[in-house]
Amino acid sequence: MTGSRHPVFDFIKTKDPFLFLHGGDFHYMDLDEEAVAERVDAFDRVFASESASSLYTNVAFAYMWDDHDMCANNQNSECEKVAEARKAYQKVIPHYELPAASLPGAPAADAEGLRDVSPYQAFTIGSVRFIITDLRSEAQKSTDEFAGSIYSDAQREWLYAELANATSYDFVVWLSSKPWVGPAEIGGDNWQGFAKDRQEVSDHIAAHIGSGPQNLLMISSDAHMIAYDDGRNTAYDSNDTHSAGFPILQSGPLHNMGSTKGGPFSEGCHTFKGEMNNQYSVVDFAFGTPDGDCATLTAYSMAPDGKSESVLFTKKLCGAFFAEEGADNTDSTCDAPYLRPTTLGLWATAGALFLVGVVAALVAYDDKLYVLKVFAIGALGCFLAVLIGLGIPLANFLVANNVQLQTLSVAAASFLVAVITVAFLAFNRLVGYEEPMDASKQA
């Protein structure tokens, strides 16, 4: 969520990361018409969070946008303000040299040195190569007549060259802001909607990495879940000679409602689709161990109170770690519940209190059972308290899904008025309040 102050950022800092990779939706302002200045303000809203800013300004930081922070939900190159988004990125976000800026005929820099070019980039730390692709500002969605294009020809050639050079590194990490796994879908927003591009790059991976070092790890985002596949579901190549089944780590969200996209994954999906989730992953590289050079992946999820965290899973990748061609994927899935067991328990408690209160009120209404009346009022009061408590995550859900705060405020005020009115009427009926008799009917 934009400007989140959740403790998740502090917990990440305790892991002492050398680099923090952010895979997009840095904010959710959905600026599809705004100029550079407004886009800079959106970034500033994130950095205004003390906990988030402390992480982003004290740890090496690499970031690629997705839809909400480039333009708007599921927007790609059709966004009218792509040029402004690119310039705002260059103005605010620390980044490496942008290959697109060096292409023949690239747009000239403006007075501030900003260019209308895609921010895809790559860099090396030690013997690990990081490839960051821009899958938004150049993408054109597929249709019945058009196969779609997830990137420009120039970015494709650059990416293929990077992947072909994988033998020069111990590990290659590819940051994809769109989920990779899933059946082809015309018009789909993720790699599923760009089946031709996905197959072609899979063929390239099989030929250059599957036949060689098998050292590619993809980290993807956008979906608000953590998931892992060991490679048995990631091969979309037409090559029967070498495997293209690389492992993939789907990571997120730092602070947002859960969602699932694509799949299946060999290790399933981890999120609660009807609640706030605070999740992240750590990749730890180790060299010269008894098992060789290894990458250990650990996924974390925080408790609802933000005071503790648990490990969802840990995976260790050593040596050549692609899945074997035709690996069994029958146990793969991507099922995720909507609510935590504790939340389900609260709903059940609220329902029970409501039923008990109503039954007690009906039984006591025509009798002088004052104890039962008080009990009924207490049960209904507890029900309202639990209901209001459950309304807090509901409000978070509405905000996370771009429901305007003004609308939310009106809805909350209307709810409170209704609650007070019902409580007043129920109290009057239960304690035996009687309207004054008409004077003409009095003896």
- Structure confidence by residue, pLDDT tens digits, 252-294: 999 999 999 999 999 999 999 988 899 999 999 999 999 999 9
- CA distance linking residue 115 with residue 129, whole number of Å: 25
Q: What is the dihedral of CA 234, 238, 241, 245, to 10 degrees?
A: 0
- Structure confidence by residue, pLDDT tens digits, 348-400: 776 676 666 666 666 655 555 555 555 666 666 666 666 666 565 555 555 44
* pTM: predicted TM-score of the whole model, two decimal places: 0.85
For a pLDDT cut of 90, what percent of the chain falls above it?
Answer: 69
Q: Is the pLDDT of residue 436 over 80?
A: no
What's the Cα-to-Cα distance from 260 to each of 22, 187, 315, 333, 335, rounded to whole Å? 19, 18, 21, 11, 8
- CA distance linking residue 259 with residue 154, whole number of Å: 33
For 271-344, list the strands marked E by DSSP.
276-277, 279-289, 292-302, 309-318
Average pLDDT of the chain is 86
- CA distance linking residue 132 with residue 124, whole number of Å: 11
Averaged over 135-144, what is the pLDDT? 97
- Structure confidence by residue, pLDDT tens digits, 60-94: 999 999 999 999 999 999 999 999 999 999 999 99
Residue pair 192/263 in contact by the 8 Å Cβ criterion: no
**Domains defined along the chain, listed by start:** 8-318 (3.60.21.70), 341-430 (no CATH)
pLDDT tier, 405 (very low <50, low <70, confident <90, very high otherwise): very low
Q: Kindly report the number of other CB atoms within 10 A of residue 79's CB atom.
A: 19
- CA distance linking residue 104 with residue 336, whole number of Å: 47
